[in-house]
Structure 1
Amino acid sequence: MSAKLERLSQHLEKHLGDRLKRLTLALGEVSIEVAAADYAGVMLTLRDEPELGFEELIDLCGVDYSAYGESWQGRRFAAVSHLLSIANNWRLRVRVFAEDDGFPVVASVTPIWSSANWFEREAFDLFGIVFDGHEDLRRILTDYGFVGHPFRKDFPISGHVEMRYDPDEGRVIYQPVTIEPRENTPRIRREDTYGDVAHG
């Protein structure tokens, strides 16, 4: 581990204390996990504490852990943020799990970083994670009448409804999915000498 990452880890432990549930160093990156109740306060500390100084939120996304390995026993939905400190030249990944798998809710960080606005809307749209305190939490990628959240692991691949243009009505209409589920195994064709170094 580099001295810089060691220093960042020490600063995180010093300023977050008991609010830090887990700190991981892997592949040259520092990741932390915090409880949903502490999330907003931790994010504010990460931005405002000069020894941490994460003035920029680079990314925020949702994650559905329901099919994550065979031994996963934790909560289902998480919001994962990637922070950058330009002043201190380091990065941090922050993960927070929603307490309720049936109705996942975590605090919004848009009052801290305005760049979180569309990221949180995307996580809401695709995973159904509600960001408490977001001033305009509505769908951003799917249609207004879309049913469900398409990045959830239990969402059907073909969806619930399909839309098509009806020339008789002169408009787009929605109808139940008519596609039959099937397994498609692609055929791969290669030359006889594929991968043979001697034959180029």
Structure 2
Amino acid sequence: MSAKLETLSQNLQSQLGERLKSLKIALGEVTIEVAAADYLGVMQELRDTPALGFEELIDLCGLDYLGYADGREDVPGKGKRFAVVSHLLSVANNWRLRVRTFAEDDGFPVVASVVNVWNGANWFEREAFDLFGIVFPGHPDLRRILTDYGFIGYPFRKDFPVSGYVEMRYDPEEGRVVYQPVTIEPRENTPRIVREESYGDAA
């Protein structure tokens, strides 16, 4: 581990204390996990504390861990489904950080908005809301950004059907785009394997 990552880890532990649920260093990056209740306060401290100095939000995205745990005890979140991951940059200190927090309720995932901490989070949070259904209280304009306003469901959730629920087409008689139930038949492609009768026999 580099001296820089060691310094960052120590600064995080001394500043955040028990609010750090986990701190891991892998592939030259530090990843911390905090509870959703502590998320907003931690993010403000990550920006405002000179020893950390993360003045820039590079990225923020939603994640769906459905089926990820399946019998494993070492997975993050311990069974929680939806997470928000942010990537932060400190230009002054020349280091990066990944922050993960899990929504407490899988049925209605909620994570505080960090738009008031970093303005650049605006469209990232709208995307996570649109594609995963994660709600960000405190966001100034939380509405869909990629899908249509009448879209049903959240297409990046792992239980969302590949073909969706509705399809759109242009109706020349009505002179507009109309919605209709999906007409694509679900199918499963199974590769056809052809082998010689003697395949695998000892010579």
Structure 1 length-normalised TM: 0.91
Task: Note if contact 2:170-2:178 (Cα within 8 Å) is conserved in structure 1.
Answer: yes
Counterpart AA for 2:16: L
Alignment partner, residue 9 of structure 1? 9
SS in 2 for 1:130: coil
Query: Which aligned pairs between 1:132-151 and structure 2 lie closer than 5 A?
Result: 132-151=137-156
1:75-132 alpha-carbon deviations (Å, 9 max, x no partner): 0000000000000000000000000000000100000000000000000000000001
Residue 58 in structure 1 maps to residue 63 in structure 2: no
Counterpart AA for 2:70: E
Alignment partner, residue 43 of structure 2? 43
Deviation of 1:143 (Å): 0.3
Q: 2:159 aligns with which of 154, 161, 165?
A: 154
Q: Distance in 2 between matches of 1:79 and 1:163?
A: 31
Residue 116 in structure 1 maps to residue 121 in structure 2: yes
Q: Distance in 2 between matches of 1:117 and 1:186?
A: 44
Unaligned runs of 5+ in 2: 73-77, 193-203
Count how many residue pairs are aligned between Structure 1 and Structure 2: 187
Counterpart AA for 2:83: A
SS in 2 for 1:42: helix
Counterpart AA for 2:89: L
Q: Distance in 2 between matches of 1:184 and 1:118?
A: 37
Query: Which aligned pairs between 1:20-35 and structure 2 lie closer than 5 A?
Result: 20-35=20-35
Counterpart AA for 1:122: E
Q: 1:183 aligns with which of 188, 191, 199?
A: 188
Alignment partner, residue 104 of structure 2? 99
Counterpart AA for 1:14: S
Alignment partner, residue 68 of structure 1? 68
Describe the shift of the 1:174–1:84 C-alpha distance in structure 2 as closer, same or farther (beyond 3 A).
same
Q: Distance in 2 between matches of 1:69 and 1:5?
A: 29
Deviation of 1:70 (Å): 2.7
1:123-151 alpha-carbon deviations (Å, 9 max, x no partner): 00000000010010000000000000000
1:54-93 alpha-carbon deviations (Å, 9 max, x no partner): 0000000000001225335420000000000000000000
Q: Distance in 2 between matches of 1:55 and 1:186?
A: 51
Deviation of 1:167 (Å): 1.0
Q: Distance in 1 between matches of 2:190 and 2:123?
A: 37
Deviation of 1:17 (Å): 0.5
Alignment partner, residue 130 of structure 1? 135
- RMSD across aligned C-alpha pairs, in angstroms? 1.2
Query: Which aligned pairs between 1:160-179 and structure 2 lie closer than 5 A?
Result: 160-179=165-184
Structure 1 stretches of at least 4 aligned residues deviating more than 4 Å after TM superposition = none
